[in-house]
A and B are shown apart, each in its own frame.
Chain A
């Protein structure tokens, strides 16, 4: 069935780096825009970045621009986000999300279970 599974979360010190991965199954990854969204403890959802199916286009929220880099390997059915210069406020559950339809702006129809990132000394 259609599924997204995140991995790579953990505890990291402020200023450190972490790379999250997302394994996709049950659909052709290259057909879809993909997105990372996070949710800080007890807070709402925050969109972070997304990437087109062929990786030609990426977009970032101001809160992570210059620190996070989204990428994908369609051959490996995988999505990634490289997170550098991490801050305490980056502590959150990070979700890998598929955007509905063949392009952006149509909603987000498949969500992973999330991976937890904790930034603390």
Chain B
């Protein structure tokens, strides 16, 4: 099982808002370590989507936003588009494991 817990799948109609949760513990997110999010399109390498909780790299639409509170973080996609169909992963650092950890990934389906 992954150290960070994500829902396996979420779905929404075009234009809707969806959120993906990422639940950790007091040894990772709750310890103050930042959360980063990655998007993996089918058959492609992952791509950095958000870094340090809610910062977008150049080129990432502002439809993507992030937040962090306590031992959890979340990714929100507003104005859902067909091109957003992908797997999304959260990532942080775990001080007990002394290494980076990922969530199990969430598949976003646009209905």
Contacts and interface: CB of A to CB of B under 8 A. Distances in A.
Interface of A: 35, 44-47, 50, 59-62, 95, 100, 104-109, 111-114
Contacts of B48: 100, 107-109, 111
26 contacts: A44-B89, A44-B105, A45-B38, A45-B46, A45-B91, A45-B102, A47-B91, A47-B99, A47-B101, A47-B102, A62-B97, A104-B93, A105-B34, A105-B93, A106-B34, A106-B51, A106-B52, A107-B34, A107-B36, A107-B48, A108-B36, A108-B38, A109-B48, A111-B47, A112-B45, A113-B45
A30 B42 CA distance: 32
Contacts of A35: 100
Given A109-B57, A111-B46, A114-B45, A44 B102 contact: yes
B24 interface: no
A108 B57 CA distance: 11
Interface of B: 2, 33-34, 36, 38, 45-48, 51-52, 57, 89, 91, 93, 97-105
Contacts, number: 58
A113 B47 CA distance: 11
A44 B2 contact: yes
B104 A44 contact: yes
Q: Which of A44, A59, A60, A62 has the most CB of B within 10 A?
A: A44
A45 B52 contact: no
